[in-house]
Amino acid sequence: MASSSDKTPSLPVTKIMILGATGNVGSAILTAFQSHNTHNPHHPFHITVLTRTTSHAKTAAQLPPSSNLQVLAIDTYTNTPTLTTLLQQHNIEVLISTIATFSTNDQEHLISACVASGTVTRFFPSEFGLDTSDRGKVETYLPFAILKQENVDLLRRASLSTNGKLTWTAIITGAFFDWALTIPGLFAMHIPDMTAGVIDGGDIKYEATNMAQIGRAVVACLTSQSRFDETANQYVNINSFTTTQNEVIALIEKYTGRSMTRSPISAKELSESALATIERDGGIEACRAYQPTPEMPYVPGSTEGIMACLFGGGALGGMNQYSMRENGLWNDRLGLPREDIEETVKSAVERLGMLKA
């Protein structure tokens, strides 16, 4: 007799490759695929993790073990012929790139390899942040994000050149929420010191997504033919919640039982100074050529520029306010669960050992 899991619909694609599964968002996406496999043993994804032989990140042996998971290493992500061969040898249908922010240029070679492979039908470029779909806004407020947009342009052309066989999905998440909360000082929020930089009064609404929700969203795009079709060649905006800096600070104060010291920040001034730093160091061409290291993963000025756009609202293009647009969110279409901001903040404070007695 068939078990209930036998009756789950089969997957439109099963052979996926994750690049960057050793990193921040990639590891959350890997976890989500492994969770799918645990709950759907009759319809698993076959997961290949692609890493570099020179990786500074976790070694393959440190990745969470499971069946249906193999780890392959390549010398560099710019080696198109080797990538093409790997994709063909393993019959990869989906490539999920979560490559680091200032390595997104490498995706040009990955896209070429996907076209040449003839096996890959969906490419997820490394977006996972602000809504970068509007060229004018990106050029004005976050010029280096043009590097991400250029990859989507390449994917659009690749889709045409393969007669629509290769498709793409760009997942837009706003601010990584639970991840950032526990990194002291990130986005000017330092919970251990109970200090926070507050942009333009702190009441500006912004989109925030927990890491597990990002993983669930990527998996959801691939679990039914209708979702696979619906998400083809789309920017797919998701969140865990829409919040404000003041709401987050109030919750931190509630769960630590301590008050936070706030420093006012002007979004416009933060953005202008960030863009001036980037321009001083060579502008977009220097960003394009930047060689990130574990010590200096980001171009100087870029994190401030990102922060201004994440929390600065309409004054900086509203690239992190997509839930306010009609049909701006894909959460329901992807069947994503509602998440609770209070629970998230409480658990972050607990992880920092600061939950009030």
Which spans of this chain sit near ligand NAP (rule: CB under 6 A)? 20, 22-26, 51-52, 55, 57, 77, 98-101, 103, 106, 126, 128-129, 173, 175-176, 180, 292, 297
Please, which residues bridge with residue 168 across strands? 123
Nearer to ligand NAP, 103 or 231 (CB): 103
Nearest-CB residue for ligand NAP: 23
Over the Cα atoms of the chain, what is R_g?
20
CA-to-CA separations, 342 to 118, 153, 247, 311, 337, in angstroms, rounded: 46, 39, 10, 19, 15
Locate 294 and state its tokens.
């574990």
Under 8 Å between Cβ of 197 and 189: yes
Closer CB to ligand NAP, residue 11 or residue 171? Answer: 171
CB 295 to ligand NAP: min, Å:
11
Ramachandran class of 141: left when φ > 0, alpha when ψ lies in -120 to 50, beta otherwise: alpha
Residue number with CB closer to ligand NAP (126 or 242): 126
Q: How would you list the strands of the sheet with 261-265, edge to edge?
A: 189-190, 195-199, 261-265
d(CA 43, CA 9): 8
Given the complex with ligand NAP, which of 64 and 292 has the nearer CB atom? Answer: 292
- How far apart CA 302 and CA 289 sit, in angstroms, is 14
Least Å distance, CB 198 to ligand NAP, is 18
Nearer to ligand NAP, 55 or 277 (CB): 55
Q: Is 189 exposed, middle or buried (0-12, 13-18, 19+ CB in 10 A)?
A: buried
Handedness of CA 93, 98, 99, 105 (dihedral sign): positive
CB of 27 to ligand NAP, least distance (A): 8
**How far apart are CB 356 and ligand NAP at their closest, in Å?**
27
Q: Quick one: 143 or 297, whose CB is closer to ligand NAP?
A: 297
CB-based burial, 227-237: b 16+ in 10 Å, e otherwise: bbeebbeebbb
Where do the DSSP E strands lie in 20-145? 46-52, 69-74, 94-97, 122-124
Which stretches of the chain are assigned E, i.e. beta strand?
15-19, 46-52, 69-74, 94-97, 122-124, 167-172, 175-176, 189-190, 195-199, 206-209, 234-237, 241-243, 261-265
Q: By C-beta, is 52 or 288 nearer to ligand NAP?
A: 52
Shortest Cβ distance from residue 117 to ligand NAP (Å)?
Answer: 19
- Min CB(126)–ligand NAP separation in Å: 4
311-325: b (≥16 Cβ within 10 Å) or e: bbbebbbbbbbbbee
Nearer to ligand NAP among residue 22 and residue 256 (C-beta): 22
In angstroms, what is the minimal distance from the CB of 142 to ligand NAP?
11
**Residue whose token pair is 């100074």:** 273
Name the residue nearer to ligand NAP (CB basis): 297 or 300: 297
Kindly state the smallest distance separating residue 104's Cβ from ligand NAP, in Å.
6
CB of 259 to ligand NAP, least distance (A): 26
Q: Which two tokens stand for residue 99?
A: 């490559």
